[in-house]
Amino acid sequence: MTERFRQHSIRAILDGYRSGSIAPTDVAQWAIAEWEKREPSLYAWECFEPQRLLDAARASQVRLAQGEPIRALEGIPVGVKDIFNTAEFPTQMGSPLWKGFTPGNDARVLYDIQRAGGLVPGKTVTAEFAVHALGKTINPHAADRTPGTSSSGSAVAVASGMVPVALGTQTAGSIVRPASFCGIWGCKPSFGLLPRTGMLKTTDSLDSVGYFVAHALDLQPVFESMRVRGRNFPISHGALTDEARQAVPMGRPWRVAFIRPHVWKHAAPYAVAAIEEWCKRLTAAGCDVTEPALPAGLEESHDVHATIYNRALAYYFQEEFKKAELISPVMNELIEIGRDIPNEAYVAALDRQTALARAMDGFFADVDIIVTLSTAGEAPLRHEDEPPDSALLWTLTYLPVVSAPVFRSPSGLPFGLQLVARRYNDPLLMRFIDSLVARGLLPEGSMYA
């Protein structure tokens, strides 16, 4: 019964419902078996309730027996990062200040997941207030290495096969990094496409909702289950439904930009060699791979991001800061830095963010997809800082990204390939990934531990 999510994508599970070879209660039992086996050593969950999951699976099974249609996430267990409101579980945000807090409602994305048939067995571990303090979660590939900080519990729950999909968030690199370090697929859609109603807010112009999955095939259906849609969202609706924008013209190769951003000096030599070799394979497969320079000013991204991020933390966590003894040293330090940033500097940084986002939108006039490293290399030791990488650049400029589990370091640890597209070209990005999976240039599954 164990390791079934490694063998079955969500699409395969739904096909099993149709053929009668799999039932929702089977899927719930797979999750429970892996949780019982792996959770005692990995600490991916703040809470997990097997009986609640089984009861929900039975309700799904009854629904199907009555002839109801199979929904996109029918009977699929979904991990939820503990910064999203949940009516049935506490929302504690990794902080003792909020221990036992019950919001009494579900976040918008959680409502959408459940409307699509998804089942929530519990809440996954988050860094304190989704910032930087590393929590209790263990990297399943190497216990002495970081799993990534903010969305670590969700990433490990998927990487260890406890659930096939889990919610995360990214304000800098908190989906891309855990996905890279844990060897799984991580997706941060275009800013604003997954709604933020009913979740912790840290930074208005940076907080982004995303997710982890075990299989490339599941990127698109999970995205479609949660994204905003319809003419109430005219800009994204127009872009997402523009078939010409979301496809490469027949007969033209994919135009791929291999980017070495300003943080490239931090990349490990083995990581640079790995992606250079992969890009050669991409060229051999018929893609038009170039190495253009990024627009001027992108090298400012980390400074612009820090100004916005730290000032916003100081504003949103004023009350928590009054009980500084219950906040981690790193959180206290960021709030103190943010309190010293003038409002004028914050507004100027927001204006600069808008300008850089427009510059990146123009960059995609001649480019379909950007490829670069997800992280500088393998996961660092738990007590070490994570080296700078480019994930923050794409968050700052609102772009959709996917971290793919492609590479292994000389010590056998995973690190990811990052794929980036123009804002609202999320379907195009997923089509590119599907085409590379079909040609063997990207794996369909993940690097399970």
Domain CATH for 165: 3.90.1300.10
Instruction: Specify burial of residue 6 (Cβ count, 10 A radius: 0-12, 13-18, 19+).
Output: middle
Asked whether the beta carbons of 279 and 287 are under 8 A apart, the reply is: no
Q: Indicate whether 139 belongs to any domain.
A: yes
Asked whether the beta carbons of 403 and 194 are under 8 A apart, the reply is: no
Q: Give 262's Cβ-side CA count (13 Å radius).
A: 12
Phi-psi region of 404 (alpha: psi -120 to 50; beta: other; left: phi over 0): beta
How confident is the model at residue 1, as a pLDDT?
A: 46
Enumerate the active-site residues: 81, 150, 174
The stretches of 286-401 forming alpha helices (DSSP H) are 301-316, 318-321, 329-339, 343-363, 391-396
Question: Domain limits at 213?
Answer: 4-229
What is the rounded average pLDDT for all residues in the chain? 96
How far apart are the C-alpha atoms of 308 and 323, rounded to whole Å?
23
What the block records as the tokens of 85 is 């409101």
Residue 448 has pLDDT above 90, yes or no: no
How confident is the model at residue 442, as a pLDDT?
A: 98
Q: Indicate whether 414 belongs to any domain.
A: no
Cα-Cα-Cα-Cα torsion 329, 331, 335, 337, nearest 10 degrees, comes to 60
How far apart are the C-alpha atoms of 219 and 289, rounded to whole Å?
24
How confident is the model at residue 81, as a pLDDT?
A: 98
Residue 418 has pLDDT above 50, yes or no: yes
Q: Indicate whether 114 belongs to any domain.
A: yes
How far apart are the C-alpha atoms of 268 and 219, rounded to whole Å?
28
- Read off the pLDDT of residues 309-339 as tens digits, 9 standing for 90 and up: 999 999 999 999 999 888 999 999 999 999 9
Range in 75-89, 318-332, 349-363, 412-426 with the lowest mean pLDDT? 318-332
Q: Indicate whether 262 belongs to any domain.
A: no
What the block records as the tokens of 419 is 């794929």
Q: Indicate whether 102 belongs to any domain.
A: yes
Q: Indicate whether 223 belongs to any domain.
A: yes
Instruction: Specify burial of residue 20 (Cβ count, 10 A radius: 0-12, 13-18, 19+).
Output: exposed
* C-alpha to C-alpha distances, 303 to 102, 174, 226, 297, 348, nearest whole angstrom: 36, 18, 32, 11, 12
Q: What is the mean pLDDT of residues 229-238?
A: 95
Number of compact structural domains in the chain? 1
- Read off the pLDDT of residues 120-174 as tens digits, 9 standing for 90 and up: 999 999 999 999 889 999 999 999 999 998 999 999 999 999 999 999 999 999 9
Q: Indicate whether 85 belongs to any domain.
A: yes
Asked whether the beta carbons of 10 and 74 are under 8 A apart, the reply is: no
Q: Indicate whether 181 belongs to any domain.
A: yes
